[in-house]
């Protein structure tokens, strides 16, 4: 019998994903890719030896960071259960075989109470046992238990609450198995044997199979939450993080994954955000990544093992920490199958060692030059032969201007120019040439000479982060019919979001824009919910036409601009009659409630 118990845990950052957390953990019985090969067989034999040795009552299994430990152990336990069902096993004096266990699988326990509750619930099948004192555990019928503390994140003192040597005193022949990413935690748990899985000990095929098994298991887990992403797509999501070996800002990966077509097409941006946050939660929960509020990192041991595999496969060229003389030659760029190039965190002064011409790489889809502060110039014709480029990241470089050949990137979907301290302004004509652009990441770039920015009628643009442009006072996104998310600079004074897909005031951080004087929201049929309780001021002029099929812009401005026209009055349901907005602001406005039909 196998029981997977999931104690409650406190994830402050992920409170919205409690249901996902429960289902994700409970999916540990899902079928996964079988792990085979010399290193895995050696590990399997070590675990079997511990299971059969009566002198070993506790053993731990750690390593491989957060990848594959639980999956591999489940496969060994499945073999254990199959063997226990056979009739040719030797039995001990009490009629029990050396591999016949009642299995209690406790996923990510946080206290000894979680462990005790799991044992009593599984062994007794009697709710009365849930409140038993520890001393009365002996009253539970004598059974041989294999207690698995899976993915242990912190030390739990089993002996400190009366469970001293419980393996032999309560249920003779029982064992405790501990899995954790931390060798220190395993050592503190007083294991007789510590088994360590090391990435450098795996062959390339074994390492890739281990990642694929984990990705497939995650896909099974997400499927229980009606998120259908295959194991191969999840592999691409995870290995994409390795294009940023030293870590990268965490908020932007959703845009990268969407544009690289890893996570499919969703009916709403909110669903896509949920999928991204779900993946990030699972990666972090399984210790596959380390993250904080700003950055995501993959452990150095995984980077060291897997990046060379990506390079050997021929579809990626990933190098980090390059010196100026180590930039790849043009012929390295021009390999037929090369799709992605990442030259991150170095001191290169040019992306490639020039041979008098730009690289001819029409098949290249991704170019990441992030964190190269000595890269101050990209030659004017550099992008001429990169017609297939979809992602270009020049963030945190020293560039002072953008080359004219940028306009030839007609398939470009994502342009990242964040943290570019030397880039004084944006060439608007070059941006308008990128008619397929979906995401523009400009955060923390000051653009001191940029005071006005018009990106009107860029039909595919859905995301803009320009929160560091401290002199920008006027921004227009009129007619950007796909546009949904804006991170504006706080001192913005004039904003036009007419004919966009904005659906909430928080989508453009309205609460942040304390100096906003004019806000145009004409033809914003998706904007149907307003958090009036969180709004304490309105701009001097607000032109808001919910439907834009009965009141043209000219009529608004003829009425001195103070107009709100909506399709029904439900939008004001959450506005208190006592709100100061009525007296302070709404008395200036002309209201129209006219059906959109």
Tens of pLDDT, residues 352-384: 876 678 899 999 999 999 999 999 999 999 999
CB 183 within 8 A of CB 62: yes
Q: What is the CATH number of the domain that holds 156?
A: 3.40.50.300
Tokens of 440: 């523009």
As a whole number of angstroms, the distance between CA 182 and CA 186 comes to 7
Structural domain contains residue 401: no
**pLDDT band at residue 563, thresholds of 50, 70 and 90?**
confident
Structural domain contains residue 528: no
As a whole number of angstroms, the distance between CA 544 and CA 530 comes to 12
Q: Give phi and psi for 416, each to the nearest 5.
A: -115, 120
Structural domain contains residue 356: no
Cβ neighbours around 334 below 10 Å, total = 15
Give the tens place of pLDDT for each residue, 507-551: 999 999 999 999 999 999 898 778 888 888 889 888 888 775 544
Which pLDDT belongs to residue 162? 43
**pLDDT band at residue 109, thresholds of 50, 70 and 90?**
confident
**pLDDT band at residue 448, thresholds of 50, 70 and 90?**
very high
Indicate whether 166 and 220 sit together in one domain.
no
Indicate whether 22 and 106 sit together in one domain.
yes
The gap from C-alpha 132 to its chain's centroid, in whole angstroms, comes to 41
Q: What angle do CA 566, 569, 575 make, to 5 degrees?
A: 110
Last residue of some domain: 297, 326, 361?
297
Cβ neighbours around 558 below 10 Å, total = 10
Indicate whether 193 and 225 sit together in one domain.
no
Indicate whether 87 and 211 sit together in one domain.
no
Enclosing domain of residue 214: 204-297
Indicate whether 7 and 90 sit together in one domain.
yes
Structural domain contains residue 160: yes
Indicate whether 125 and 179 sit together in one domain.
yes
Which pLDDT belongs to residue 77? 87
Last residue of some domain: 154, 173, 201?
201
Residue for token pair 């599984």: 122
Indicate whether 169 and 221 sit together in one domain.
no
Tokens of 187: 């050592």
Indicate whether 143 and 211 sit together in one domain.
no
Indicate whether 91 and 162 sit together in one domain.
yes
Indicate whether 192 and 227 sit together in one domain.
no
List own/partner pairs for 399-408 with CB under 8 A and 24 or more apart. 399/375, 399/423, 400/376, 400/424, 401/377, 401/427, 402/378, 402/426, 402/427, 402/430, 403/378, 403/379, 404/380, 404/430, 405/358, 405/380, 405/381, 406/430, 406/433, 406/434, 407/433, 407/434, 408/383, 408/384
Structural domain contains residue 478: no
Average pLDDT, the chain: 82
Give the tens place of pLDDT for each residue, 325-345: 788 988 899 998 999 999 999
Structural domain contains residue 512: no
Q: Which residue has the higher pLDDT, 130 or 426?
A: 426
Give me the number of domains the chain comprises.
2
Buried b or exposed e, range 457-493, using 16+ CB within 10 angstroms: ebeebbbbbbbbbeebbebbbbbbeebbbbbbbeebe
Structural domain contains residue 6: yes
Indicate whether 72 and 185 sit together in one domain.
yes
**pLDDT band at residue 173, thresholds of 50, 70 and 90?**
confident
- pLDDT at 567 exceeding the cut of 70: yes
User: Which H or E element spans position 195?
Assistant: strand 193-197
Give the tens place of pLDDT for each residue, 217-251: 899 888 888 888 888 999 999 999 999 988 877 76
Which pLDDT belongs to residue 37? 84
Indicate whether 269 and 229 sit together in one domain.
yes
Last residue of some domain: 167, 201, 235?
201
Structural domain contains residue 54: yes
Q: C-alpha distances in angstroms, 555 versus 209, 490, 510, 539, 548?
A: 64, 30, 25, 19, 11
């Amino acid at each position: 019998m196998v029981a997977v118990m999931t104690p409650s845990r406190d994830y402050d950052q992920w409170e919205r994903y409690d249901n996902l957390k429960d289902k994700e953990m409970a999916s540990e019985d899902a079928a996964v890719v079988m792990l085979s090969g010399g290193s895995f067989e050696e590990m399997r034999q070590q675990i079997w030896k511990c299971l059969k040795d009566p002198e070993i009552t506790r053993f731990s299994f750690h390593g491989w960071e957060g990848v594959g430990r639980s999956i591999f152990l489940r496969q060994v336990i499945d073999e254990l259960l199959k063997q226990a069902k056979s009739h040719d096993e030797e039995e001990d004096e009490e009629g029990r075989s050396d591999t016949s266990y009642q299995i209690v699988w406790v996923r990510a326990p946080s206290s000894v109470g979680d462990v005790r509750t799991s044992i009593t619930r599984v062994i007794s099948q009697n709710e009365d046992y849930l409140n038993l004192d520890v001393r009365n555990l002996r009253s539970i019928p004598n059974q041989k238990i294999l207690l698995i503390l899976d993915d242990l994140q912190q030390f739990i003192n089993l002996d400190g609450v009366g469970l001293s040597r419980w393996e032999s005193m309560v249920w003779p022949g029982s064992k405790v198995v501990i899995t954790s990413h931390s060798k220190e935690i395993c050592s503190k748990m007083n294991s007789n044997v510590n088994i360590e899985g090391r990435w450098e000990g795996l062959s390339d095929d074994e390492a890739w199979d281990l990642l694929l098994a984990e990705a497939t298991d995650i896909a099974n887990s997400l499927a229980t939450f009606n998120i259908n992403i295959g194991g191969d797509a999840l592999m691409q999501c995870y290995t994409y993080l390795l294009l940023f070996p030293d870590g990268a800002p965490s908020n932007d990966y959703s845009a990268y994954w969407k544009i690289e077509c890893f996570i499919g097409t969703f009916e709403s941006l909110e669903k896509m955000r949920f999928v991204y946050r779900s993946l990030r939660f699972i990666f972090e929960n399984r210790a596959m990544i380390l993250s904080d509020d700003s950055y995501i990192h993959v452990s150095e041991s995984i980077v060291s093992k897997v990046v060379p595999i990506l390079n050997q496969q021929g579809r990626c060229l990933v190098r980090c920490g390059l010196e100026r003389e180590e930039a790849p030659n043009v012929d390295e760029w021009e390999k037929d199958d090369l799709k992605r190039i990442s030259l991150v965190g170095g001191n290169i002064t040019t992306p490639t060692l020039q041979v008098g011409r730009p690289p001819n790489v029409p098949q290249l889809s991704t170019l990441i030059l992030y964190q190269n502060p000595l890269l101050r110039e990209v030659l004017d014709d550099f992008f001429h032969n990169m017609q297939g480029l979809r992602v270009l990241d020049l963030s945190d470089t020293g560039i002072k201007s953008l080359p004219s050949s940028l306009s030839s990137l007609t398939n470009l979907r994502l342009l990242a120019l964040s943290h570019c301290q030397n880039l004084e302004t944006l060439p608007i004509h070059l941006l308008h040439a990128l008619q397929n652009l979906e995401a523009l990441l400009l955060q923390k770039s000051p653009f001191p000479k940029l005071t006005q920015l018009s990106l009107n009628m860029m039909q595919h643009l859905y995301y803009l982060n320009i929160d560091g442009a401290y002199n920008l006072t006027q921004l227009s996104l009129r007619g950007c019919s796909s546009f949904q998310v804006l991170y504006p600079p706080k001192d913005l004074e004039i904003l036009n979001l007419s004919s966009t897909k904005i659906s909430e005031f928080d989508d453009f951080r309205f609460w942040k824009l304390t100096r906003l004087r004019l806000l145009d929201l004409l033809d914003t049929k998706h904007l149907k919910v307003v958090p009036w309780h969180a709004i304490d001021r309105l701009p001097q002029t607000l032109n808001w036409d919910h439907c834009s099929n009965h009141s043209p812009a000219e009529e608004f401005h003829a009425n001195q601009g103070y107009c709100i026209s909506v399709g029904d009055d439900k939008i004001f349901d959450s506005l208190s009659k006592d709100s100061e907005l009525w007296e302070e602001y709404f008395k200036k406005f002309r209201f129209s409630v006219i059906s959109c039909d």
